[in-house]
Structure formats: C-alpha cells, structure tokens
Amino acid sequence: FCVFFFFYRVIFLNNYRNSCNQQIIKQDFIKPKWTQKNAGLRSSPGLLYKQPRVLIGRTDVASVSPWSAAIIWEGTFDATLIDSIYKQQNLTIATTVFALGKYTRFIKDFLESAEQHYFVGFRVHFYLFTDQPESVPEVKMGENRSLTVLKVQSLNRWQDISMKRMEKLEKLIENELAGEADYIFCLDVDTMFYGRWGAESLGRLVGVIHPWFFDASRDQFTYERRPESLAYIPAGEGDYYYAGAAFGGTLEDVHTLTKTCREHLNIDAANSIEAVWQEESHLNKYFLLNKPSKLLSPEYMWRGINEGATPIKIVRFADVPKNYAEVRPNA
Ligand code: UD2
C-alpha cells in the first residue's frame, strides 16, 4: 500500500506541477494591454543639486502616509533633480478635462495656464471632452504639446456630467491611449495652474488630498454614509478625503479605478441611489481599499488663489470662482 501511495503522490504532484507550469507558460504569452516603461530612476553624472539631509525636512506636515506613500508638499522634492530623472524616460502624460454646457468658458484659462506650469518640458497630450467642439478657443500649444477635442452628448444634470466622466475615461484609456501615453491625469476644468505641477506627481496611483478636509477628523469627511450605496464608508474608517477634481497614475491603474467606479455608479443607479458626492464618493471608497502609491498635498488642488492656510506655501492648481447657480444646467 505504501509503495502504491508513494507512486500515486509522485504522479499526482507531477500532474499538478505540470498543470501549474502550463498555466505559467500561458501567462507568459498574454500580451499586456499597457506596457509600463521601467527605466529606473537614473541620474546624470555631474548633476548638481542641494544635498538631501536626513534630519532636515518639513516638520509641519506629514510627508508620508501610514502605508509609506509619499505625500508631496513644497520642500519635499528637488525640481531640478526630479526633472532630470524623468526627462530621460521620454514620457507622455495624457491629461483629460471635461467642459460641457457653460463650463466651456473655463477652457482657455485652464489650457493657457497649463502651458505655463503643467509638466513644462514634457510631452503632454490633452483630451478635452465637450458637447460644443465649435466653442473650443484657439490656444497656442508649445512644442510636444497637443490637444484632441472629443465630442460628447449634452446632459441635463451636473451630477450626471460629473459621474459620466468615469465611463468616458475608462473607454478613452481602453480605446485610444495604449501605446500613446505612459501616465494619465484627470482634472476638473473650472481651475487654473498657478505654480509648478511636474514629474514629482508621477506614480502608479495618485490621489490628491481635498482642500477643504486636510485638517478634518475622518468622521467629518463627507463620505457616503448610507450602507445601500457601494461608496459606503462606515464611521471610524477612512484615511484622507480625496478630491474628485484630480487623480491619476499609470494607464493600467487608472483604467482599473475608472472601470470599478463606473461599475459601482451603475449598480447604485440600478438600486436608485446616488452617492452624496457622486463619483467623488466612489473615488474615496476606491482609494480606501486600493491605497494610492503617491499622495499630492492640497497645493495640487487648492480652494482658490486668494485663499490662504498655514501649511500651503505654494498654490499650484486651484479652483476658479464660479456662481454655481449660473453655470450649472440644474441648481
Ligand atoms: C466637486 C469636486 C468635483 C466633482 C464634484 C462631484 C473637487 C475640488 N471638486 O466639485 O471634482 O467630484 O464635486 O459632483 O474635488 N462639468 C461640466 N459641465 C457642467 C458641470 C460639470 O463640464 O455643467 C464638469 C467640469 O469638468 C467640472 C466637473 O464636471 O470641472 C465637476 O463639476 P463641478 O466643478 O461643478 O463640481 P464641484 O465644484 O462641486
């Protein structure tokens, strides 16, 4: 019996191993949809920059999350060094923005200010979704910078415009961006750039800490609190409150994010529930369960250029004032 059992085990294990090997071999042949450049963080010989010091840094803010993701603030990176590293990677940054209805009035300032401050010196491809391509203003784009205008259907509710973005982004990444871009950022249009936003923001999955909640306790966050919604976060849980107005990362990670949020928005809609802050609520739930690999401080999505707060030493990107009742299609 022992001899029989021994042979049985050998045969079983061999078959088991063979079937595993087969699976592994098959995986080798699956071509990834999006290839990620893995150039390493190469520096150039002779490059001079300020000495990094272990005992000197920002002490007024946290610059790392509890899962060891960097939180980017002014003073936590060296722009010369970081540009030099990432310029060697020959990257393309896809950047999406939506302007439907009266929000087309924000396009010009958004794009013109991006030309001055956003990934300067890098290849940037803007994708502008609008229901009125004819009213997109002429903006002079710099070398290696381009704009593609994509027509979308008008919608009557601002909530639907805001939420629908997840699906449009998912499809854009799937259908247009493979092989065309390395990273993507998805931004609100009623905004302007006022300071540098560059390669320090690049990461696999990037969230921006919301400008109104960076100092609040987690129970004050405006997470969705109804268990019926897939965006539900119970009291006592949560890391940060993230802005819906800006997020990004690699194509693969942002594709999974937008696909998941789109699916959850659809399931909520089928159950007749709309999360309190629409896709922003679902984004917050996603980031709770899928921690961002890099966090951008509220310098990267500030309340407005004239608003101050103690830890904000530079405003890089901020909301522009708007009269909600006047610009939105519904109140
Ligand atoms: C917050 C978020 C926003 C979004 C929204 C949730 C921040 C700072 N802002 O902003 O990102 O999550 O809540 O509903 O995190 N849009 C149009 N036409 C319209 C209405 C909206 O094109 O008629 C687009 C446009 O790109 C705009 C975006 O949708 O930037 C978000 O709408 P919003 O700016 O009115 O939302 P808001 O300010 O409440």
* pLDDT tens for the 331 residues of the chain, in order: 444 444 433 333 334 333 333 344 444 455 557 777 777 999 999 999 999 999 999 999 999 999 999 999 999 999 999 999 999 999 999 999 999 999 999 999 999 999 999 999 999 999 999 999 999 999 999 999 999 999 999 999 999 999 999 999 999 999 999 999 999 999 999 999 999 999 999 999 999 999 999 999 999 999 999 999 999 999 999 999 999 999 999 999 999 999 999 999 999 999 999 999 999 999 999 999 999 999 999 999 999 999 999 999 999 999 999 899 999 999 7
Specify the pLDDT at position 31: 53
Specify the pLDDT at position 37: 76
Contact 96, 166 (CB under 8 A): no
Specify the pLDDT at position 15: 40
Atom of ligand 1 nearest to the CA of 158: 20
Beta strands in the chain (DSSP E): 70-72, 92-99, 123-130, 145-151, 183-187, 191-193, 205-209, 242-250, 294-296, 317-319
Cβ–ligand 1 distance for 329 under 6 Å, the answer yes
Cβ–ligand 1 distance for 311 under 6 Å, the answer no
- Please report which helix (H) or strand (E) contains residue 14, including its range: helix 2-29
Q: How far is CA 4 from the centre of its chain?
A: 58
- Using CA atoms, how far residue 136 sits from 94, 111, 133, 155, in Å, is 19, 11, 6, 18
- Catalytic pick from 180, 280, 299, 307? 280
Cβ–ligand 1 distance for 172 under 6 Å, the answer no
Beta strand pairing status for 145-151 and 123-130?
parallel
Phi, psi of 278 (to 5 degrees): 45, -130
Specify the pLDDT at position 10: 36
Atom of ligand 1 nearest to the CA of 191: 30
Paired residues of 127 in beta bridges: 96, 148
Specify the pLDDT at position 35: 76
Paired residues of 232 in beta bridges: 224
Atom 10 of ligand 1: nearest residue by CA position: 245
- Distance from residue 323's CA to the centre of ligand 1 (Å): 12
- Distance from residue 99's CA to the centre of ligand 1 (Å): 10
How far apart are alpha carbons 237 and 235 in whole angstroms? 6
Specify the pLDDT at position 34: 75
- One-letter amino acid of 83: D
Query: Does residue 280 carry a catalytic annotation?
Result: yes
